Amino acid sequence: MAFKLRGSHIVAAVILAALGGWMYTGELIIGGQSDSAQKSVPIAEREAKRSSAAFKVRVSTLQPQARLAQLLIRGRTQADATITIRAETGGTLTKRVVNKGDQVKPGDLLCVIDQGIRKSNLAQAEARLHQAKSDFEANSELVEKGFTTKSKLRTLRSALDAAIASLDVAKQDLKRTEVRASVIGEVTSPLAEKGDNLTAGGICVTLIDANPMLFIGQVSEREIARINTGMSAGVQLVTGEQVLGKITYIAPNADPKTRTFRVEIAMDNEKGLLRDGVTASSIVKLESTQAYKVKPSWLTLADTGEIGLRGVGADNKVIFIPVKILSQATDGMWVSGIEPGTSIITLGHEYVSAGELVEPVSAVVFDQQESQKKAELSEPNKNTEHVQTAGIKQ
């Protein structure tokens, strides 16, 4: 059967020829223009151009600022003194006048010990004194009249002195049966109970002298040189009280285990609102110093592990600046070790190293450029049209 050439065959052949010619030229018509003018630069050429251009980094010039430093000390409260009131003589406790929590002052009666035979001893001492005094006076008159010797009078004088001393001892022994407070304080345990048999030196009551109340804390050896006695300090108790005090004592030697120094802060407690043994913290305001505030993201590490910042030198080459971190604030970190007016790389420091040539751009200009780029990318290209294929006339 013979093949017949039809019109459709001719149309198909023309289309194939047109497609082949279009593919051979390698040009795409977009919006009526060839893409030949928009061909990308070869990779090798782009890399060569990029390697010769300096890397752009955002920089900020740092100037020192006044840093209002403060030292945080953690510790607890402690009464200024704890005094144990002890009996000076032995005997049975017949009465305890005070109870726990009572406030006492010097001279207040605390405990009463059974007087026993002490009153009798006092009466005997008074009688002996009366007798010795009468003998001495009578013999004094006889000596003047020559009826007795002076040596006997001296003996009687010694007896009189001994009787006076015995009476004083008897009075003092009887007085010791009443135990009285020697200082201002609050009664606390341990204390004796009625019926206890006390010996000389036995505890009657214990007093806490809580005015002033002390705050006891520990300061590290790094910070101890920054504080002195007499400095004001605010104390915050976990119970809610906030009190202003003064540093009254700094230990001259450190604790060998913790290498910290004991610090005492005295607080007025005339009203007795502060309690002993409460957890607390104190803030001591230190003298202001010059330092630099940086963002934590600016910090980096050198190859040696040293912490610091990357900056730009006068020749636009990257330099590494070691810094010392002083403290952390809510809006950054305080550091030292930077020269005033140094340009610090705040963006791009992760991609450069010391000695590399860079193009420093101020933070304001850098941010403006970045904003402009984002705006250009977000806006649609109005000149771009859909790809159209060439029509074939039938």
* pLDDT, tens digit (0-9, with 9 covering 90-100), for 284-333: 988 888 899 999 999 999 888 899 999 999 899 999 999 999 888 888 89
Chain-wide mean pLDDT for the chain? 80
Least confident span in 39-53, 145-159, 193-207, 243-257: 39-53
Question: How far, in Å, CA of 327 to CA of 338, rounded?
Answer: 15
Question: How far, in Å, CA of 54 to CA of 6, rounded?
Answer: 67
Q: Which residue carries 């214990």 as its tokens?
A: 206
Question: How far, in Å, CA of 186 to CA of 207, rounded?
Answer: 5
Which pLDDT score is estimated for 384? Answer: 46
DSSP state of 68: -
Question: How far, in Å, CA of 280 to CA of 263, rounded?
Answer: 13
Question: How far, in Å, CA of 325 to CA of 332, rounded?
Answer: 11
Which pLDDT score is estimated for 370? Answer: 66
Which pLDDT score is estimated for 259? Answer: 92
| Superfamily holding 82-203 | Helix hairpin bin (1.10.287.470)
* pLDDT, tens digit (0-9, with 9 covering 90-100), for 196-206: 888 888 888 88
Question: How far, in Å, CA of 186 to CA of 81, rounded?
Answer: 11
Question: How far, in Å, CA of 185 to CA of 84, rounded?
Answer: 11
> What is the phi/psi pair of residue 102, to 5°?
-70, 140
The token pair at 309 is 């910042």
Q: What number does CATH give the domain 72-78+208-287?
A: 2.40.30.170
Q: What number does CATH give the domain 55-67+290-371?
A: 2.40.420.20
Question: How far, in Å, CA of 73 to CA of 214, rounded?
Answer: 13
Mean pLDDT of 60-89: 88
Question: How far, in Å, CA of 58 to CA of 369, rounded?
Answer: 11
With b for 16 or more beta-carbon neighbours within 10 A and e for fewer, the 199-238 pattern comes to eeebbbbbbbbbbbbbbbbbbeeebbeebeeebebbbebe
- CB atoms near residue 244 (< 10 Å): 11
Which pLDDT score is estimated for 84? Answer: 87
The secondary structure element, H or E, covering residue 122 is helix 118-145
pLDDT at position 267 over 90: yes
Cβ atoms of 132 and 206 closer than 8 Å: no
pTM, rounded to two decimals: 0.53
* pLDDT, tens digit (0-9, with 9 covering 90-100), for 94-143: 888 888 888 888 888 888 888 877 777 777 877 887 877 776 766 676 66
pLDDT at position 192 over 80: yes
Q: If DSSP codes are grouped into helix, strand and coil, which group holds residue 171?
A: helix
pLDDT band at 391 (very low <50, low <70, confident <90, very high): very low
The token pair at 9 is 């065959």
Least confident span in 191-200, 231-240, 345-354: 191-200
pLDDT at position 177 over 70: yes
CA atoms within 13 A on the CB side of 213: 24
